[in-house]
Structure 1
Amino acid sequence: MISICAYSDSLHFFRSWLANPLRVASVTPSSRSLARLITREVGARHAPVLELGPGTGVFTRALIERGLREEDLVLVESGPEFASVLRQRFPTATILTIDAARLGDSLPQTPSGIGAAVSGLPLLSMPPRKVMAILAGVFLAMRPGGSLYQFTYGPRCPIPRPVLDRLGLRAIRLGGTFRNFPPASVYRISRRQPLSLAQAFAIRG
């Protein structure tokens, strides 16, 4: 039997997808199987953790199950309808209703930087320059050794190789799940070399 909460989440996604299919890549929330896969390397030692495009909070719940506290999470959600749901469900998390491409201007400062990031953003529907701005903001805020975890419905990494090369990043496929609609894969994005401030501002500018 489908729970009232699950039905409500699916309705949120369907309405948002109808309103803006490029911003919301799927008509349904991500599955718990995908949530476990994309968060399996993230734990309390990575606090604070950044989540991009959390939607109704499927990955957020998985992060909390992995040992992170709500207050250790920074949730970036540009959709006001989803942000409202997140504020009700995760009242002590930091929730930013902004475009992820403006991360560099809006992320709260932390002494050590974020330890990891999890992304549900539809990167395949974004122009490369916007993808570069998002990645530059994430990795400028991330401490050494941190990674971004990104899922995709496509057959390969959703970040084009020229973008990875320009930012000094590498992508490794961690696995996939057919227990999601549509089936999805997860990639770990990490630094090959540090991104300088000059590079980041050139990309964002």
Structure 2
Amino acid sequence: MTSDIALFRRRLLKNPRQVSAIAPSSRTLARAMTLGLGPRSGPVVEFGPGTGRFTEAILARGVLPRDLTLFELDEEFVPYLRQKFPGVTVHQVPAQEAPRLVGQGVGTVISGLPLLSMPPEVREGIISAAFAILAPRGRFVQFTYGPRPPLPPETITALGLTVGKGNKVWANLPPATVYRFRRG
């Protein structure tokens, strides 16, 4: 099996806009993104798992493979994820398709997607999909490299969301901040 780093670099060179990162997420960021998950978290969905760094952390927290569904577009990441994480469902479709493929009642959606670099209509479609499948008290977890939340204030207000800011993860390239969104 190809190493995570080699696969990441190859895909970054082939499609930098889709990969949209200069290095894979660190294990420290993965732990911060998955904080609070465990065997009783209910179903978990991950948008944009890439090589699976957050996926590893989700499973390490005790989420069962059968309770984890991944949405990844990259043609090489998908078979890699399927081989690396047996029992985890991997869909090669956009995150916006989640409501068609996953039932309501998801406890957490973890997103590694570069939301701020996406056109507003794509970003809003992804967020709408996440909240369409989340349980009433479910949460959407997203990181960003910038100083502000990864959703514009008008989107947060329009969707009636509350946002919790986590600590800055300095042990990531570049440093990142985790945000948790819930319905207000």
Say what the alpha-carbon RMSD is for the aligned residues.
Answer: 1.5
> Quick one: distance in 2 between partners of 1:124 and 1:83?
23
Q: How far, CA to CA, are the matches of 1:85 and 1:28 in structure 2?
A: 18
Tell whether the 8 Å contact from 2:102 to 2:133 is kept in structure 1 after alignment: no
CA distance in structure 1 between the partners assigned to 2:49 and 2:120 by the alignment: 21
Q: Runs in 1 of length 4+ with deviation above 4 angstroms?
A: none
Identity over aligned residues, as a percent?
44
- For structure 1, the 5+ residue unaligned runs are 193-205
Q: What is the Cα deviation at residue 108 of structure 1?
A: 2.8
Find out whether 1:190 has 2:182 as its counterpart.
yes
Structure 2 unmatched ranges of 5 or more? none
1:156 has 2:152 as partner: no
1:168 aligns with 2:163: no
* 1:95-138 Cα shifts (integer Å, max 9, x gaps): 11011123233x2336xx11111110011110111111111111
C-alpha deviation, 1:163, in angstroms: 1.2
Cross-structure match for 2:138:
146
Please state how far the C-alpha of 1:170 moved relative to its aligned partner: 2.2
Letter in 1 for 2:33: I
- Tell me which residue corresponds to 2:125: 133
Equivalent position amino acid for 1:128 in 2: P
- Residue 71 of structure 1 corresponds to 66
Matches within 5 A, 1:95-106: 95-105=90-100
Aligned to 1:120: 112
Aligned equivalents of 1:51 and 1:177: distance in 2?
Answer: 20
Q: 2:171 aligns with which of 175, 179, 199?
A: 179
The 8 Å contact of residues 13 and 26 in structure 1, kept in 2 or not, is answered as no
> How many pairs does the alignment contain?
184
Structure 2: distance between partners of 1:20 and 1:12: 12
One-letter code aligned to 2:141: Y
